Amino acid sequence: MQALVKRIFPLAMVLLLCMSTRVAAGNKVLSEVAESEAPMITTTQMERFPFIPIQDELLAKLNVLESHIILQKGTERAFTGKYTDTTDEGTYYCRQCNAPLYYSEDKFHSNCGWPSFDDELPNAVRKFPDPDGMRTEIVCATCEGHLGHVFVGEGYTDKNIRHCVNSISLVFKPGPPVAKAVFAGGCFWGVEYLFEKLEGVHAAASGYTGGHTENPTYRQVLTHTTGHLEAVEVLYDPRIISYEQLAKYFFEIHDPTQTDGQGPDIGNQYLSAIFYRNRVEYDTAVALIGILESRGMDIATKILPAAVFWPAEEYHQDYYELKGTLPYCHSWTKRF
């Protein structure tokens, strides 16, 4: 009897641990759903805001070898890649679209012949089964450029996962991850000022985007003929602050219901818009608009594919910091 107890007790403890873990995980999911309130994206919303993949003008031109790996899903020869054994501290970006993908603290030596990571940056990578069903491909979530494959259960690290990535798909830059987000909410002075106050934001820059005139000037944009909006490019660390947090904040620092500008600034260059680079950003923006409209707000914010961002003249940058005053038509109002 004593021997039987000894055999059953460890098994019971394992089952109890599994049940506790599942309950905790379930509670976490329920909590996240309750907090987000994110509704399903409807057909009507997709018709109102059609999704357009990242445009070619935002992608780097690839040489023959890079195209073979990134576009045609090739594989570079083992132990020939530039980053196979690198240990420098910094961030690995997508060669094609410059989106941050991996941070050096998640890189490890697997002796497999290619750079190995046991984690990606938030929302940076998408996974698809290979056509033969044997392996799982990983691609950049922004441009869908081929990265390599992901493997689980090998036991290399505590996370028990290995992203096996072609060096050619990557570009290494020293320093923390720098992701980009672009928002237009009226006069860019106030939007820039408020975004720069957030923890996790490296910097914000005023500029113009969404139009057809190359390298526009402020005077040109004022003519209402360039198609550009005054916008702000936010550079942030996705490990510290998420895109969703930035987007929620954007809706809280301007009036997203105003259709002809923002506050006293009237004109098409002052319209409200979110410029997305990938599906996650698009889905986030559409879902947040859905939440606000479910609460009775008539949202005028446009959701548009990212375009070339043209920095504004130097005298527009850090305007309120240099002037020593506060924004006249932007302030924070809790909406989420």
Residues with catalytic function: 164, 187
Residues 6+ apart with CB under 8 A from 308: 57, 58, 209, 214
Listed in sequence order, the DSSP H helices in 158-233 are 188-195, 218-222
To 5 degrees, how large is the angle CA 238–CA 336–CA 40?
80
Helix (H) or strand (E) holding 264: none
Between helix 243-252 and helix 279-294 the angle, nearest 10°, is 40
Amino acid letter, residue 69: I
Question: What's the token pair of residue 141?
Answer: 């979530």
Task: Provide the residue count of the chain.
Answer: 336
Rounded Cα distance, 70 and 102, in Å: 17
Rounded Cα distance, 280 and 54, in Å: 12
Backbone angles phi and psi of 288, in degrees to 5: -65, -40
- Secondary structure class of 269 (helix, strand, coil): helix
Beta bridge partners of 309: none
